Structure 1
Amino acid sequence: MDAAPPDPAPPPDPPPSPPWRPVAGRLLLTALAGLAVVAGVVAALIAAEPERRLAFDLNATPDAFTGLRLRLLTLSPGVCAETLRLSGLSPAPAAPRPLSEGCGYDDGVTLRGLALAPAPVMRCPMAASYALFERHVLQPAAERRFGARAVAVGHFGTYACRNVYHRAAGRRSQHATANALDIASVRLSTGRVITVAGQWDDGGAAGLFLRDLRAGACGLFGTVLSPDYNAAHADHFHMDRGMARICR
């Protein structure tokens, strides 16, 4: 008669945990707790002084967060005003136009120290976007294409209580709330004047310059319309901070 097989050997004991693991776990928990405390303090500071904490310098080169920061300005007039001041733009508040039938604004400003001539009234977030455009798109393009500076930007205005395309019925234009700007020309420090109407189809530096402006504007405004969009924009760039996203 065969002998019964021997009982299997018990499994070996698991290796002991490295002595550093408990210490690392405690350090991680301590770090997470510290981060939670810091986050709470930061949140409290922002809640106490949102204008000073959330304002940003428009002189800084735009980055991946610039679009988010510009949207924040629309939500907080105080942060927007502080952003303009922080950026050295000395905004002059405009008399409010109470909103009526889709027209008006309560956060209009006029900016000093920019090339817009004459300086128009714009809603604060629109003014911030334009300041970024002039400093980080327009002036670098003028230097790159002509070795000059833009000294005067001609425009067709900002505020106009009207519908889109001046239609008798339909939705209001972004101009109805001073949330849009129509740029027609740029005068350089050399005395040369570049116009959208005259040079859009130019095959040289002027045409390239105008396309630089359109391309750069599309990253800073919601809608940018050029002569490529339709005949109504044959002589100007329309730029606005509305909800629509169009770059043509």
Structure 2
Amino acid sequence: MKNRSGKWNLAWLGVASLLLSACGAIPGGDRQTSRPQSSAGLGSFDPSPSARQCFSQLGKAKVRFSPLPNRNFQGGCSQIDSIKLLDVGTDVTNLGPVKCQLASKFAAWTEYAVKRAARQYLGSELARIETMGSYSCRNISGSGRLSQHAHANAIDISGFVLADGRRITLTNHWKGSRREKQFLTAIHQSACKRFGTVLSPDYNAAHRDHFHFDMSGNGYCR
């Protein structure tokens, strides 16, 4: 965030350890218990040049956020070039630290895909996006590799609430009515054009109740 003088406000938000339900990234990723984590100090605010550019882009898009200090945790988990999203133009639940580039893609997806699809296919404005979290220090289930969630580089989305009160969830509506399926299909296809990896309920049973988005991979979409 910038202060009135136009300079970056480097005030940090306190970051609690988040034990959020999350999934893996590339094939084979489903849930498992988060590993305990401990911080090696409070970290330092030293964003990379690409992160600084990302901060500027988010500011121009009128997305409110707070930069977070770089931190490394036990087991190789980390939060580097991460931010706390404060306002993307609609309410978002359960979202913790996310890498700036992922946050930028998520904000654009919300504005130009989800909001438009809600109006087009469901005839209502978007009121809220429900997530299952972002940062979680854990491996991809069944492997020794860290999940993208362990680097604040993934978001899981479980549902959407409309201004008319309807709640569209991946669990109940991925194979719902024609309009509901059109809405979820449209935003899934848009996500596949924005994120490095996109997993849907069609991927495997572990993703039956959410979309998984991360910035790894090169357009892997299921």
TM-score class normalised by the smaller sequence: 0.7 to 0.9
Tell me the equivalent position of 1:214: 188
Equivalent pair of 1:112/1:119 in contact (CA under 8 Å): no
Q: Which secondary structure state, in structure 1, belongs to the residue aligned with residue 128 of structure 2?
A: strand
C-alpha distance 100-83 of structure 1, shift in aligned 2 (>3 A): farther
- Structure number with higher helix proportion: 1
Tell me the equivalent position of 1:120: 96
Normalising by structure 2, report the TM-score.
Answer: 0.73
CA RMSD of aligned residues (A): 1.9
- Unaligned segments of structure 1, at least 5 residues: 1-73
Give the counterpart of 1:161 among 137, 147, 159.
137
Quote the offset at 1:85 in angstroms. Answer: 1.2
Give the counterpart of 1:135 among 111, 120, 132.
111
Write the distance in 1 (CA, Å) between the matches of 2:82 and 2:215: 14
Write the distance in 2 (CA, Å) between the matches of 1:152 and 1:112: 13
- Structure number with higher strand proportion: 2
Matching residue's letter, 2:210 = H
Count of residues in Structure 1 that have an aligned counterpart in Structure 2? 174
Normalising by structure 1, report the TM-score.
Answer: 0.66
Matching residue's letter, 1:173 = S
Pair 1:193-2:167 in alignment: yes
Matching residue's letter, 2:97 = V
Equivalent pair of 1:225/1:247 in contact (CA under 8 Å): yes
Quote the offset at 1:138 in angstroms. Answer: 0.4
Per-residue CA deviations over 1:47-90 (Å, capped at 9, x if unaligned) read xxxxxxxxxxxxxxxxxxxxxxxxxxx86111011111111112
Q: Which secondary structure state, in structure 2, belongs to the residue aligned with residue 183 of structure 1?
A: strand
Pair 1:226-2:215 in alignment: no
Identity %: 35
Tell me the equivalent position of 2:36: none
Write the distance in 1 (CA, Å) between the matches of 2:190 and 2:163: 21
Q: Which has the larger radius of gyration?
A: 1
Matching residue's letter, 1:85 = G
Matching residue's letter, 1:142 = A
Pair 1:78-2:34 in alignment: no
Tell me the equivalent position of 2:220: 246
Per-residue CA deviations over 1:128-163 (Å, capped at 9, x if unaligned) read 000110011100000101221211111110001111
- Unaligned segments of structure 2, at least 5 residues: 1-47
Q: Which secondary structure state, in structure 2, belongs to the residue aligned with residue 111 of structure 1?
A: strand
Quote the offset at 1:100 in angstroms. Answer: 4.9
Per-residue CA deviations over 1:13-38 (Å, capped at 9, x if unaligned) read xxxxxxxxxxxxxxxxxxxxxxxxxx
Aligned structure 1 segments of 4 or more residues deviating by more than 3 angstroms: none
After the TM superposition, which of the residue ranges 150-159 and 108-117 deviates more from structure 2? Answer: 108-117
Per-residue CA deviations over 1:73-123 (Å, capped at 9, x if unaligned) read x86111011111111112112343225533111222122222312443211
Write the distance in 1 (CA, Å) between the matches of 2:217 and 2:180: 31
Q: Which secondary structure state, in structure 1, belongs to the residue aligned with residue 96 of structure 2?
A: coil
Tell me the equivalent position of 2:38: none
Give the counterpart of 2:149 among 154, 175, 180.
175
Write the distance in 1 (CA, Å) between the matches of 2:102 and 2:209: 21
Pair 1:101-2:75 in alignment: yes
Quote the offset at 1:125 in angstroms. Answer: 0.5
Q: Which secondary structure state, in structure 2, belongs to the residue aligned with residue 164 of structure 1?
A: coil
Write the distance in 1 (CA, Å) between the matches of 2:95 and 2:201: 24
Write the distance in 2 (CA, Å) between the matches of 1:182 and 1:215: 16
Higher relative contact order (CA 8 A, sep 6+): 2
Write the distance in 1 (CA, Å) between the matches of 2:110 and 2:127: 11
